[in-house]
Amino acid sequence: MKALGDAAIVSVHCHNDLGLASANSLAGVQWGARQIECTMNGTGERAGNCALEEVVMVFKDPARPFSLPHWRCYGQLYPASQLLTEMITFGPQPNKAIVGANAFAHEAGIHQDGFLKERTTYEIMDPRSVGVPESKLILGKHSGRSRAEQALPGPGHRALER
């Protein structure tokens, strides 16, 4: 690919029809684009656009070939997502990376066990780094016996009967 030099700023504008908007935008940067057009929460018509919070957190990692070590607004990503949710009356799907309600929630017993032993086993970033107050351990149908017993009050309380 021939470089355009400083004659023009190449920008990428990717839609998320196949769930690849962020990946395709990052590929554009690898191939010389100097600008990514994206939206908070990936909002947009049809399937949405490239999600700002996703590409920003990729850029945060100094080990990656493209990083923005001097950008300091990472902790505002979740608050910005919440503000947008209030303004447009709907939020991101619960399983949305980084800003979704379940992004830092763990219900499955094996996830909870791994998380409690070493947080980075199931979380590649600290939730506070993007403005999420804390991770959540959810007591639910996928939780293990030890987590259920841990959640019940009082000594000797039998959590689960067989």
Walking along the chain (162 residues) 10 residues at a time, the average pLDDT comes out as 68 96 94 92 94 91 69 90 95 94 91 88 92 90 71 50 38
Which whole-number Å values give the CA distances from 27 to 53, 133, 153, in the listed order?
Answer: 16, 32, 51
Does residue 12 sit in helix, strand or coil? Answer: strand
- Residue 114, pLDDT score: 87
- Residue 143, pLDDT score: 81
